[in-house]
Chain A
C-alpha cells in the first residue's frame, strides 16, 4: 500500500502548480484552469486522508467538490464571456475596475 505521504506530495505539487498558475498567469481562462488544479489537489488530499482513516466521508466531500468545480467552471466561464463581451479582454491585469 502506497503511504499517505506520497499522496500528500502529489497533492502539494498540484496545489503549488495551481497557486503559481493563479498568481502568475494573465489569461483568466488559464487562471480558472489553475483553480481547477487547486481543487483537484484538495480532492486528492480528501481521498488520501479518507483512505487513511478508513471512512467514506472524504470521498463524499471529493464528489461534492467535483460537482462544485463543475458548477464553478460553468459560472466562471459565463462571467468571462459576459466580461469579454463588454471589455474585449481576457487579461487579468487589465481587469482593474474593482479599484475605482
Chain B
C-alpha cells in the first residue's frame, strides 16, 4: 500500500524520468531498435505523467489553504552572506528545490499530458525519418528541462530549465541538420532567445540584489516588507527586465521573429515546443512572479500593450500566409499575445487558463497539420491542398474542432478562456479590448481560410501526390482525438459565473495570485461592480459574433466566390504585400541590427588588422627587426670582425709554417733530403772536413 501523499512527496522524481530517457538515448540510443526507443522515451514521459497527475490529484485533495508543497533537495548555490539594496543582510542559499502549488499543477498537467500525447504521435510521425533515437532523446531532454522550469521553486532553477528548453528548441529546430534553412532557423531561435535571456539574467540579479531572495514563495513577503511602494522604480525595472526574457521565450514583439522560422523543425516539435509548452514559459514566468508585477503597474501596462499589439500584429500576418505551419506559428504568437494581455491587465488566472486551453487546441492544430503534411508527402503549401475532408477524415474533423475552438465558438474551450481575457481587458481599457476583439475576428478568419483551403473546395493537390493520400496511423490519430476531446471540454472547468457556472479554475489558482497590489485589486473590483452581468453578456455576444463574421468571410472568400481573394490582393496591393512579407520585419532587423552588427564586426576587424595587428604586432615586429639589424651590423663588423681579425693575424703569421706543411709526400721528402744534407754539411764542417 502506498503511503499517504506518495506522489506529492515524490514530485522530484517527475523530471528525472525523461532525464533518464534522454540519458539512455544519448548513451545507447544508436544501438536500440525503433521499438526500444519508443518504449523508453514514451514510457519515461508516461511515468512522469502518472506521477504528475498523482501529485495533482493529491494536491486537489488537500484543503485550499494547504495547497503548497515546497521542499529543497539540496543546497545548490551556497553564496553566503550578502547585503541587499534595502540594507538587509541575507544569508543567500539557492537550493535545488521543487515547488508544487496550483499554478505548477496546471503547468504540470499541460506539459506532461500534452507532452505524452505528442510523444505518442511522434512514434507514428517520425517512423520513417532518420535519427529516430536522436529525436526522442532531444524530446525527453526537453521534457526534463520544461518540467524543471515549471517545478523549480526559485527563479534560478527556473532559469536552468529556461535555458534547457532553449537548447532543446535549438537542437530540434535544426533537427534536419543537412538542410541549411533548418540550421539557420535553429541559430536564429537561439540568438533571439539569448537577447531575451540577457534581460532575464539582469532582472534575476537585480531581484537578488534588491529583495535578497529568488524563492517564489518568499517573493511576496520580501516585497511586502514596507520598503517598496506600488510603482517602485526598482521593482518596475526588475519586472521589465524579466519581461524582456519573456518576450524572447514567448515570441512577443520585438523578439518574435524566430518562431515562424522555427517551423523548420519536425511538426511534433512545433506542436510541443513552439505551441503548447516552451513558448508559454514566458507567460508562466510572469504569472509566477505576479507578486512582483502587481507592484509595478507601469511594467504591467507594458506587458498588456506588448501582448495586445503582438496579438493583432501576428494575426494580421497570419491572414495572408500560405504555409500551413507558418499560419499556425503566427497564430501561436498572436495567442501568446492574448496571454500577456491577460497578465498585463492583472488577470493572471485568465492568462494561465488560456495557456492551458491554447496548449490543447494549438497542439491539436499542429499535430493535425503534421498529419495533413504526412498525408500529402510533405506538402506544406495550402494553395496545393483542398478537398481533403473525406480523404483524411479523422484529421479533418479534429482539425475543424480545434479551429472552432481557437475561433472562440461556445461552448468549446477557447471561448471561455478568450472571453475571460477580453472581459478583463475591457475592464482595464477599451482600447486593449478593441485590439483583442479585432484579433479575435482575424483569428477566426485566418483559421477558416486555412480550413477551407485545406479540407474543402476543389482539390489542388499535385497529381503524383494525390495517389498517396492516406489517413495517418493510429498512433497519430488517437492523440488527435484525445486532444480534440480536451479542446471541447477543457474550458468547462472555468465557466464564468455570469453563465451560471462556477469558475473553478480561477478559484483553484487564487492562492497563487492572492497577493495583488492594493490599487489594482480595488480598480478591478470597482470596474467589475460597475459593469455587471449584462456587460459581460454583451462582450461575449460581440466576440462570438465577430468570430462568426470571420468564419463567414473566410467561407465566402475561399469557398463561394473564389475569385475574390485575388481581386482584393490586387486592389490593396501595398497592404497585401506588406502583410505577405510580414511587415518586412526580418528585412528591417537585417538592415538595422544584423548588417550593423556585421559593420561593427568589420570595423573592429579593420581596427584589429590596422591597429592591433598593424601598429601593435607588426609595428613591434618592425622595431624589433630594425633593432636587430643594428645589432646584427655590430655583431658582424665589430664582434665577428675582431674574431676574424685575430684569425687573420694568425693566418698571416702562420704563412711560413703553412708553406712547410704542404701535405705533399714529395715535399716532405725534399725537406728530409735537404735536412740530411744540412746536418751532413754541419757535421762534416765541425769535424774539420774540407773538400
Task: State the A residues within 8 Å of B (CB).
Answer: 19, 22-26, 28, 31, 92-93, 95-99
Contact = CB atoms under 8 A, between A and B. Distances in A.
A95 B665 contact: yes
A96 B670 contact: no
Contacts of B670: 23
Interface of B: 661-667, 669-670, 673
A23 B666 CA distance: 5
Given A22-B666, A92-B666, 5 more contacts: A23-B666, A26-B666, A98-B663, A99-B661, A99-B663
A96 B669 contact: no
Contacts of A31: 665-666, 669
B665 A23 contact: no
Nearest to B673: A19
A28 to B, nearest CB: 8
B79 to A, nearest CB: 80
**Interface majority SS (helix, strand, loop, mixed), chain B:** helix
Contacts of A24: 666
B521 to A, nearest CB: 110
B511 to A, nearest CB: 105
A92 B664 contact: yes
A98 B666 CA distance: 12
A42 to B, nearest CB: 13
Contacts of A96: 662-664
Contacts of B669: 22-23, 31
A93 B666 contact: yes
Contact of A93 (B661, B664, B673): B664
A22 B676 CA distance: 14
Nearest to B670: A23
Pick from B661, B665, B673 the residue with the most CB of A within 10 Å.
B665
19 contacts: A19-B673, A22-B666, A22-B673, A23-B669, A23-B670, A26-B666, A31-B666, A92-B664, A92-B665, A92-B666, A93-B664, A93-B666, A93-B667, A95-B664, A95-B665, A96-B662, A99-B661, A99-B662, A99-B663
A70 B214 CA distance: 115
Contacts of B663: 96-99
Contacts of A22: 666, 669, 673
* 3 smallest beta-carbon distances between A and B, as pairs: A99-B663, A96-B663, A23-B670
A76 B544 CA distance: 130
B181 to A, nearest CB: 78
B254 to A, nearest CB: 87
Contacts of A19: 673
B664 A23 contact: no
B544 to A, nearest CB: 116
A5 B673 CA distance: 23
A25 B665 CA distance: 11
A80 B662 CA distance: 21
A23 B673 contact: yes
